[in-house]
Structure 1
Amino acid sequence: MLHRLALPFLAVLALAATGAVAPAAQRWSAAKAAEWYDAQPWTSGANYIASNAINQLAMFQADTFDPDLIDRELGWAHDKFGMNTVRVYLHDLLWEQDAAGFTGRVDRFLGIAERHGIRPILVLFDSCWDPDPVLGYQRKPVPGVHNSGWVQSPGRQDLVNPAREAHLRAYVEGIVGAFANDRRVLAWDVWNEPDNPGGGSYNDKQLPGEAARIEALLPKAFAWARGQKPIQPLTSALWQGPDWHPDSPALTPMQRTQLAESDIVSFHNYEKPASFEKRIAELRPYGRPILCTEWMARTEGSTPEAILPIGQRERVGMINWGLVDGATQTRFPWNSWKRPYDREEPPVWFHDLLQTDGTPYAQAEAALFRRMRDEAAR
């Protein structure tokens, strides 16, 4: 299974065991980032988790990793929507549990994606939802509730414990090092929404000093990843705040770190077209390729027909949330955290593009995705 990555993976483990530090690497120049982006097709994809998995742990744990299901669903992504990427979340506890086994499953996942013409973006850390992840059995979805089992990585206790930094570093250096020269990987998303206080029903669950600890760890995480000298770019997406222009006094220290460290710029936007276009305009002055790594909330006005053509026209990479309806239940809106839906289906789906049997939520959406792909390729 590990024939493609055995030697670099073993080398990373050896470095970790000896405490050796990889030579410092530099952020990509704007010219290098542009050259990389110009060599790519227009990026179109979805945030992906297998429909049977409620969170990142269930997706990649040995007992619940389902390559046949992944193969079928990534086939739908490419064949029905013309997608060439998916954004996929990893988890530090999976590395600690079984580094070799976890790396092997990521390798197998990448092989499946490659067969369907898909190059994933891999997410290392995430500050959204449940702050107390636990390995092993993952709870069942709460009926009628959006993303009721998603977990943060790292968990809040590991964040505030300085002794756990060595583990976090080993994870980043290990997993990035294993795939640093693997062209099946499109990019690395170092930290998803690091300034998110939890989200949903977890907004008041941060421990004292947790936000400051993330602020200190974020540049380190970039350095750990960059130290493996990956051929893929690094990024971390902005998602909140009134103004992202380079001279904006509203930019926070966390956002300034994200912008200063990212090889390519990324952002999230679930709002109407005017807001989406405003964010692109604010990010253009940074002079780097732009990806929107989360979008599409139909009842908020972020719909495929309204937003996707803008991204294609502006050559902004587009990765919506999500692909197949399943255990995450993100067809329900965010407000279901406070008011669970007492019906099987919301009047209008919030996220997701496909029923569990592969039928598109709307055939017109699937046709639009394919048309945008074809027009971008001309």
Structure 2
Amino acid sequence: MIRIRLALLALLLMASVFGYSQNTANKWTEERIWEWYNKQPWLCGFNYIPAYAINYTAMWDKTTYDPAAIDRELALAEQSGMNTLRVVLQYAVYEDDPQYFLKTLDGFMKICEKHHIKFMPALFDDCSFGITPDPKVGKQPEPLKGWYAWAWSPSPGHSMVTDTTTYPKLEKYVKAVISRFKDDKRVILWDLYNEPTNGGLGTTTLPLLKKVISWAREINPSQPLSIGAFDNNQRLNDIITAHSDVITFHEYGNRETLLKTIDKYKKFKRPLINTEWMNRPFKSTIPDVLDVFYENKIGCTLWGLVNGKTQTELPWGHRPGDPEQKVWQHDLYHGDFKAYDSDEISLLTKLIKQSKTESYTKEHTHAH
């Protein structure tokens, strides 16, 4: 009996080691990721959700997906010179009709390509700002005036994150999406999971996160993989930095805070991309911090483009009846495409244009 138990324990340990090696086997070397990154332009763009969409379910759902509206908004982004956008995908829409979802995703990429914008998809998202932590397909609620991101819909939803019996379904989704576009030049990189553990889930997300990394590595796409670091959870950040080809991170703080965060992640000797920033009341603004990204050739995608149903001009946690905040938190344009601040757009356009004509000194190479 003891021998049998020891044999079983040995098998379990071998399986564990094999699973871990699968996680890291296809991770890009420093040399490879720098070679890739140094061929890219300065990646400067935005997190995108159409003004018509109250959440990412509404963006992708059959009842509301609007390519004409997306085309108009991305034309606006193109005028400023922005070359990258990041979007969260919605598992629930895929589950409802996988063929429709993949076809719609391809159509969206065609619009991005038309406007010379590279696509950074995020497969999952734990964030939840409203009262419903699970998405439902179909027509979505209308905004509740004064409530920041009132009907935000996580992907795949908190119930599935915590229910391991759903993981085979999620594996099919991850592998189907990445396999379909694994060699597609319109995809700049795969952001596997937006803010895992957020929305009150805590460490219950970590088993799924590890699985998602393994599934993506099995496909081994030609684009790099990443997961954005967004807080000081050491256990989470250890997973993120161990398994990301590019170090992506969120930082909505002021110039001093941003510089400290950059220093923290430079030690991993990999390219850096800030995939969420711009909070005007916190002094995370285009005039205050954009030059930091530019001078260091750190990619950056601010939040967001056109103000709409998500009401992200309001501060985080804002509820109906709270005092009005005169300064917008996020977004570059009003719904009528008028700039919130034309000086912001001018500076954004100026630096992007400069980045195309100036040659950068390769300071962040493997040799350093």
Partner of 1:112: 111
Q: Does 1:347 align with 2:338?
A: no
**What's the offset of the Cα at 1:226?**
2.0
Q: Which amino acid aligns with 1:261?
A: H
**What's the offset of the Cα at 1:160?**
2.0
Q: Which amino acid aligns with 1:253?
A: R
CA distance in 1, matches of 2:59, 2:272: 28
CA distance in 2, matches of 1:135, 1:252: 35
Q: Which amino acid aligns with 1:139?
A: P
Partner of 2:185: 183
Query: Which runs of 5 or more structure 2 residues have no equivalent in the other structure?
Result: 1-21, 359-368
**What's the offset of the Cα at 1:213?**
3.4
Partner of 2:44: 44
Deviations 1:272-303 (A, max 9, x none): 10000000011111011100000000011111
CA distance in 2, matches of 1:212, 1:308: 33
Partner of 1:372: 351
Partner of 2:95: 96
Deviations 1:315-353 (A, max 9, x none): 11010011100011101111414x54576xx41111000
CA contact (8 A) 2:195 2:229 kept: yes
CA contact (8 A) 1:143 1:341 kept: no
Q: What's the secondary structure of 1:124's corresponding residue?
A: strand
Map 1:54-203 to 2 at 5 A. 54-79=54-79, 81-129=80-128, 130-196=132-198, 198=199, 203=200
Q: Does 1:222 align with 2:201?
A: no
CA distance in 1, matches of 2:347, 2:168: 46
Deviations 1:99-155 (A, max 9, x none): 010000010000000000001100001110141211112111110121111111121
Q: Does 1:332 align with 2:314?
A: yes
Q: TM-score, normalised by structure 1?
A: 0.85
CA distance in 1, matches of 2:321, 2:316: 10
CA distance in 2, matches of 1:341, 1:104: 42
Partner of 2:239: 257
Partner of 1:303: 285
Q: Does 1:273 align with 2:255?
A: yes
Name the larger-Rg structure.
2
Report sequence identity in percent. 36
Q: What's the secondary structure of 2:249's corresponding residue?
A: strand
Q: Which amino acid aligns with 2:82?
A: M
Change (3 A) 1:335 1:156: closer
**What's the offset of the Cα at 1:363?**
0.7
Q: Which amino acid aligns with 2:352?
A: R
Partner of 1:314: 296
CA contact (8 A) 1:238 1:267 kept: yes
**What's the offset of the Cα at 1:223?**
1.5
CA contact (8 A) 2:197 2:203 kept: no
CA distance in 1, matches of 2:54, 2:216: 27
Partner of 1:236: 227
Corresponding residue pairs, total: 332
Deviating beyond 6 angstroms after TM superposition, the runs of 4 or more aligned structure 1 residues are none
Q: Which amino acid aligns with 2:41?
A: P
**What's the offset of the Cα at 1:252?**
1.9
Partner of 1:289: 271
Q: What's the secondary structure of 1:336's corresponding residue?
A: coil
CA contact (8 A) 1:271 1:301 kept: yes
CA distance in 1, matches of 2:323, 2:111: 37
**What's the offset of the Cα at 1:159?**
1.7
Change (3 A) 1:26 1:118: same
Aligned CA-pair RMSD: 1.5
CA distance in 1, matches of 2:234, 2:323: 39
**What's the offset of the Cα at 1:256?**
0.5
CA distance in 2, matches of 1:99, 1:185: 19
Q: What's the secondary structure of 2:219's corresponding residue?
A: coil
Deviations 1:66-123 (A, max 9, x none): 00000000010111x2100110010111111100100000100000000000011000
CA contact (8 A) 1:75 1:116 kept: yes
Query: Which runs of 5 or more structure 1 residues have no equivalent in the other structure?
Result: 1-22, 242-250
CA distance in 2, matches of 1:374, 1:58: 34
